[in-house]
Structure 1
Amino acid sequence: MKQQPAQMRWERHTQWPLLALAVAFALAYTVPIVAPDADSWVHAVCSVTEWVVWASFAVDYLVRLVLTPDRAFFVRTHWLDLIAVLLPLAQPLRLLRLVSTLTLVGRRARMAPQIQLTTYVGGAVVGLLMFGSLAVLQAERDAPRGNIKTLGDALWWSFTTMTTVGYGDHAPTTGLGRIVAVGLMLSGIALLGVVTANIAAWFISRFNRDDQEERRQTAAIEALTAEVVSLRAEVRQLSATALPSQADTAATADQPMR
């Protein structure tokens, strides 16, 4: 049995621990925003959890970088992980640590392409809605002219922004809130394009399969028709050969015996 490379073994063993860390980071990011009046020790625990998760991501990235045979290719194809490791202090980019982990876990999952794409899209929609709402709530709640004060307002704003409806009843007023809004709008357009392309690809593949099946059936009918024509020709030839023989036999039988 062929031994797997060290990088693949590491990724297989760390897949579920990384997913658990992603969930822990999500909770640590959510609690201080949803419950800003919580005890100081709760905020401290959440902050420590975020740093521990970040350190774990950094160690995972460095280990995979050491184990990979082509480090330059690894850096080019895992640039999101690198950004998440290098920029831990930027508030908007803290979400990238969660996104990079979910992306990593998704890349390691063994799923059919259609199921994998559907999982990516569904997870991206839910993640962007929730964490976009939390980010804009954190940025706008204490703004003097802000009108996004509750989690419900933030969720409603995220829905209208991602779907590019934009009712205008809630809108960010701070620079950070507007950056989050731009990210949500671009993400909504991109996800809509992915869903549309996936549906179109499904219909095209279905039509291609139907067309190939129809061609196979047509070819089988044509082959069967050709075989029937060949059999008829053989039957006529055998009949034509058998008739003279029967005539000679009958003539011989009619001759008088000497």
Structure 2
Amino acid sequence: MSDENALWRWRTRMEVPLFVASGLFLACYAVRVLAVDLAPEWRDAALAVTYAAWAFFLLDFVVRWRLSGEGPGYLRRHPLDVIVVVLPLLRPLRIVQLYESVQHRHTGPRLPLYARVITYAGMSAVLLGFAGALAVYAQERGAPGATIRTFGDSVWWACSTLTTVGYGDETPVTALGRVIAVGMMTGGLALLGAVTGSFSSWLIQTFTLDEDREPPGR
């Protein structure tokens, strides 16, 4: 069995476990940020699950790296994989990889496939927005001069940032909060590009095939 087949098999088998681990990671992180009055033992349990999920992400990355057979070049060719291991809250951005795989297909237009990318991108935007809102709220609450004082404020800020509207009524004031904001802006553009790019590609392929089917001389 080639390295490529082994890598494909691994990715297929890990789709569901990684999805579950991502959900647990985000849920436990949300518990630690929002449930401030939670008993210490439960907070410690949530932290343990968070670290366990992160270790699982790291294991998946290492296995993919070894199965790829690319050596150190894997880090350069798959920067997004490196980013989501270092910052698991950005895992929704992996939808960009699915969009790229669709773009490399040279078959006819397949609306269900493009619709799948658009649907995944929408779900990823919701998850990224929730994760970003949690991360910013954790940094901004209680900071001197902060305009993001409640989780509701943080959700509003995340929505305006992801959609690239940026009203500016609520902005991060801490250094780490602004770093998270940059990541949110980049993620919003990437996800928006996946949606618009998929829909545009499907339209272009459809119109191209329609023109090719027209009888000569028309």
Task: Indicate the TM-score class for this superposition, using the shorter chain for normalisation.
Answer: 0.7 to 0.9
What is residue 149 of structure 1 aligned with on the other side? 149
The Cα of 1:14 is off from its aligned counterpart by 2.4
Matched with 2:137 is 137
Q: How does 1:168-207 map to 2 (within 5 A)?
A: 168-207=168-207
- Shift, 1:193, TM fit: 3.7
For structure 2, the residue ranges without an aligned partner over 5 or more in a row are 102-109
Asked whether the 8 Å contact 1:15–1:105 carries over to 2, the reply is no
Distance 2:43 2:98 in 1: 28
Q: Contact between 1:157 and 1:171, CA under 8 Å: does it hold in 2? A: yes
Q: 1:211 to 1:102 in 2, by over 3 A?
A: closer
The 5 Å alignment of 1:207-222 reads 207-214=207-214, 216=215, 218=216
The one-letter code sitting in structure 2 at the alignment partner of 1:95 is: L
Q: Which has the larger radius of gyration?
A: 1
Unmatched runs of 5 consecutive residues or more in structure 1: 88-92, 222-258
Amino acid at match of 2:153: D
Q: Give 1:95's aligned residue.
A: 89
Scaled by the length of structure 2, what TM-score is found? 0.78
Partner of 1:30: 30
1:30-54 CA-partner distances (Å, limit 9, x unpaired): 1111212211112101111111112
Question: Aligned partners of 1:75 and 1:63: how far apart in 2?
Answer: 13
Tell me the distance in 2 between the aligned counterparts of 1:190 and 1:157: 18
Q: Any residues of structure 2 matched to 1:1-258 within 5 Å, and which?
A: 5-85=5-85, 87=86, 93-96=87-90, 98-99=91-92, 113-214=113-214, 216=215, 218=216
- Separation in structure 2 between the aligned mates of residue 150 and residue 139 of structure 1, nearest angstrom: 11
Does the CA-based 8 Å contact 1:19-1:101 persist in structure 2? no
Q: Taking structure 1 as the reference length, what is the TM-score of the superposition?
A: 0.68
| 1-structure distance, mates of 2:146, 2:187 | 23
Query: Do the aligned partners of residues 59 and 107 (structure 1) sit closer, same or farther apart at CA in structure 2, a change above 3 Å counting?
Result: farther
Distance 1:205 1:36, change over 3 A: same
- Taking only the aligned residue pairs, the percentage that are identical comes to 36
Contact 2:54/2:88, CA 8 A, preserved across alignment: no
Higher normalized contact order (CA 8 Å, seq sep 6+, divided by chain length): 2
- Residue 94 of structure 1, CA deviation: 4.2
CA distance 1:155–1:197, change in 2 (3 Å): same
Aligned-residue Cα RMSD (Å) equals 3.2
Which sits farther off after the overlay, 34-43 or 11-20? 11-20
User: Within 2, Cα distance between the matches of 1:9 and 1:133?
Assistant: 35
Report if aligned partners of 1:18, 1:101 keep a CA contact under 8 Å in 2. no
Q: Deviations over 1:217-252 (max 9, x none)?
A: x47x9xxxxxxxxxxxxxxxxxxxxxxxxxxxxxxx
Which residue identity is paired with 2:77?
T
